Structure formats: structure tokens, C-alpha cells
Amino acid sequence: MYFRTSKTVLLISGVVFTLLVSALAGNFNQDFDITWGDGRAKILGNGQLLTLSLDKTSGSGFKSKKQYLFGKIDMQLKLVPGNSAGTVTAYYLSSLGSTHDEIDFEFLGNLSGDPYILHTNVFMQGKGNREQQFYLWFDPTKDFHTYSILWNPQSIIFYVDGTPIREFKNLESNGIPFPKSQPMWIYSSLWDAEEWATRGGLVKTDWSQAPFTASYQNFNAQACIWASNSSSCSSNSSKNSWLTQSLDSSSQARIKWVQKNYMIYNYCTDAKRFPQGFPPECSLA
Ligand SMILES: *[C@@H]1O[C@H](CO)[C@@H](O)[C@H](O)[C@H]1NC(C)=O
Ligand SMILES: *[C@@H]1O[C@H](CO)[C@@H](O)[C@H](O)[C@H]1NC(C)=O
Ligand SMILES: *[C@@H]1O[C@H](CO)[C@@H](O)[C@H](O)[C@H]1NC(C)=O
């Protein structure tokens, strides 16, 4: 089911491309509900494109119809262009309630030409505080790029265009919780956070640029769907190779490259924040 857009394919045959995309990519009408924004979120092109917008009155958001318990979930996003300072585009998995689990991508906007921050976090049993932040190696507003979450019983891996940027391993054997029993929905929203998003809140939103718009396409979930208290993966079919996927040696090298060159914040090295010592996973990861 995995399908990557390719300029070459587009050039070779626009017709074949269109047919393949409609056959293989998810359909936003089938897979998602618009949950808020009073008309500011739109599903277009027969379900192939979704846009969120934000103005001074409101942002907007959507949520998956299905719940998932493990999956490899890909989405292509094109972020708010130009002066996006103060805006936040959040794309995440989450369960419900005060002890919820959550796996987050958040894109913090910036002035034209200044870099977005990709903020990531992992919540277990209602507790986050595991932030890592990155700059991207491309302009995320010019084209669509693929942001993926691999969530299986061994680890959670965040990917950007297929390059792993962060791994959170299952370290339950060391007493560290890992999300594995609460099914999650996929959510996304575009909202304003000018108090903190850009340069820690120094740069405010320029509302004369509104509405701000982010776009989504080519959703793909290879995932265990949770319904009526049971998982579509219970039969344990060996087809689900992502369920046992881990970082091979070339992926290990790439994650090191990203972390060396593009990571701008890591809770595991923020000594001021943890004067009593770093969280236990920091020394085990
Ligand atoms: C915005 O640009 C400034 C200046 O380059 C940079 O320090 C900051 O990390 C960028 N991103 C955000 C979201 O503030
Ligand atoms: C799922 O399980 C919970 C707790 O055991 C129960 O309260 C609920 O009714 C179940 N839901 C369905 C759809 O079977
Ligand atoms: C499926 O396979 C995994 C890995 O081999 C195993 O840990 C798990 O218990 C199996 N689940 C079921 C429902 O059989």
C-alpha cells in the first residue's frame, strides 16, 4: 500500500499517477472527520486534499474516524507559508483521558525566511516532558513532505521523508512506561500560540497575513485498527512487517546525522531542567 509521489512518475504519465493515487492513497472523506473550525477546515478534490486554516477568530482541526493500536502512519503536509510566526500546526496520535498516551509532531511557525521548529513529544499515562526539537533540512512550506510515526511494541520512531529523526524505545523492562494498551486517534489542528511559539513568544502573529493555511495529502496507515475492544491485528498476520520493524544500521547512521546537525533541543541534555538527574530513559536510550 505504500506509495511515494515522484516527479518522474508525474512526468511519465499524469494519468497513471492520478489513477494510482486514487487507488492507493487514503481518502480524507473516508478516514477523517473535521472536528472544529466552523468551515475553516476543508476536504477538497474528492477527498485527496485537506486544508486547515486559521484567522483571528478561530483555528481548525480534524480527527481520524478510526482508532489505532500500533501502526505505521504517513501523512504529507505543506505548512503555512510566508510569515507564519505564532502559528502552530499540530499533527499527533492520542488516546483519551487524564492518563492518555500521545505521540506528537508540532510545527512552530516563524517569520518569512526564518526556520520552522519541528517539536516532538511522547506522553505516557498523561505525562509528557520528553521534548526534542529539530530544524528541517528543507523549506517545509514550498512542497509537501512526508511525516511518519512508526508505533510498534518495540519502539516509537518519528520519520521525516523516510529519515528517522527520533526513537523512543520500549524500556518497560527498566520500569519505564510505554504506550501499548490505549488505542489512539490521529488528530491535527492549526491554531495560534503567539505567547510561546516563535522565539519563545517574542515574535507575535501578524494577523494582516491571515488566513493562514496548511495542507494535507496522501494519508496512509498500515495499522492495527481498534474496534469493539479488539484489534484487526489479533490474527497476527506476518504481512505486518512494520510491527517488528526497527532501525537498521543505515537508519542508525541517518538518525545520528539528523541529531548531530538539526536537533536544537533535547530534554535529555537539559541539565537545568532536571537538577535531580535526568529521566531514566535518557541513560538507557
Ligand atoms: C525562528 O527564527 C529564529 C531566528 O533564526 C530562530 O532562533 C528560531 O529558532 C526560529 N523558530 C522558531 C519557531 O522560533
Ligand atoms: C469495551 O470494554 C470496556 C471495558 O471492559 C466496556 O466497558 C465496553 O462496554 C466495551 N465496549 C465494547 C464496544 O465492547
Ligand atoms: C503477535 O505476535 C507478537 C510477536 O511475535 C507477539 O508478541 C504477540 O503476543 C502476538 N499477538 C497475538 C494476539 O497472538
Answering whether pTM is above 0.95, one says no
Q: What is the DSSP string of 82-96?
A: S--TTEEEEEEEE--
Q: What is the pLDDT of residue 18?
A: 42
Cα 72 to Cα 80, 155, 169, distances in angstroms: 25, 11, 15
Going by pLDDT thresholds of 50, 70 and 90, the confidence category of residue 24 is low
- Domain harbouring 272, CATH code: 2.60.120.200
| Catalytic annotation, pick one of 106, 131, 172, 195 | 106
What is the predicted pLDDT for the residue at 50? 98
Q: What is the mean pLDDT of the chain?
A: 91
Q: Determine which helix (DSSP H) or strand (DSSP E) holds 255, and give its type and residue range.
A: helix 249-261
Around ligand 3, the residues with Cβ closer than 6 Å are 234, 236
For ligand 2, atom 4, the nearest C-alpha belongs to: 229
Residue 135 CA to ligand 1 center (angstroms) comes to 9
User: Is the pLDDT at 66 greater than 50, yes or no?
Assistant: yes
Q: What is the DSSP string of 127-183?
A: B----EEE--SS-TTTS-EEEEEEE-SSEEEEEETTEEEEEEE--GGGT-----SS-
21 inside domain: no
Compute CA 14 distance to the chain's CA centroid, rounded to the nearest angstrom.
Answer: 29
* Residue 5 domain-assigned (yes or no): no
pLDDT of residue 21: 42
Residue 80 lies in a domain: yes
Catalytic annotation present for 102: yes
Q: Which residue has the higher pLDDT, 235 or 60?
A: 60
Q: Residue 26 has what pLDDT?
A: 76
**Within-domain flag for 22:** no
Number of domains in the chain: 1
| 182-199 mean pLDDT | 98
Nearest-ligand number for the alpha carbon of 119:
1
Tell whether 12 is covered by a domain.
no
Instruction: Give the model's pLDDT for residue 237.
Output: 61
Residues contacting ligand 2 via CB (< 6 Å): 228-229
pLDDT at 7: 39
Residue 19 belongs to some domain of the structure? no
With residues binned 3-state (H G I as helix, E B as strand, rest as coil), the percentages for the chain, rounded to 5, are 20, 40, 40
The pLDDT, as a whole number, for residue 285 is 66
* Atom 13 of ligand 1, nearest CA residue: 198
- For 130-162, the pLDDT digits (tens) are 999 999 999 999 999 999 999 999 999 999 999
- 258 pLDDT more than 50: yes
pLDDT at 239: 73
Give the pLDDT confidence score for residue 11 in this predicted structure. Answer: 40
pLDDT band at 276 (very low <50, low <70, confident <90, very high): very high
Closest CA to 92 of 127, 64, 53: 64
106 is catalytic: yes
Q: What is the largest CA-CA distance in the chain?
A: 60
Residue 14 belongs to some domain of the structure: no
Mutate to test the pocket of ligand 3, among 236, 237, 242, 244 (most ligand atoms within 8 A of CB): 236
Q: Which cell numbers in the block locate residue 48?
A: 485527496
Residue 249 Cα distances to 47, 109, 168, 246, 256, angstroms: 38, 33, 17, 10, 11
Which of 67, 229, 230 most suits a substitution to test ligand 2, by most atoms within 8 Å of the C-beta? 229
**Residue 5 pLDDT greater than 70, yes or no:** no
Q: Which domain holds residue 173?
A: 27-284
pLDDT digits (tens, 9 = 90+) for 117-131: 999 999 999 999 999
- Let me know if residue 1 belongs to a domain: no
pLDDT band for 42, please (50, 70, 90 cuts).
very high
Give residue 144's Cα distance to chain centre.
13
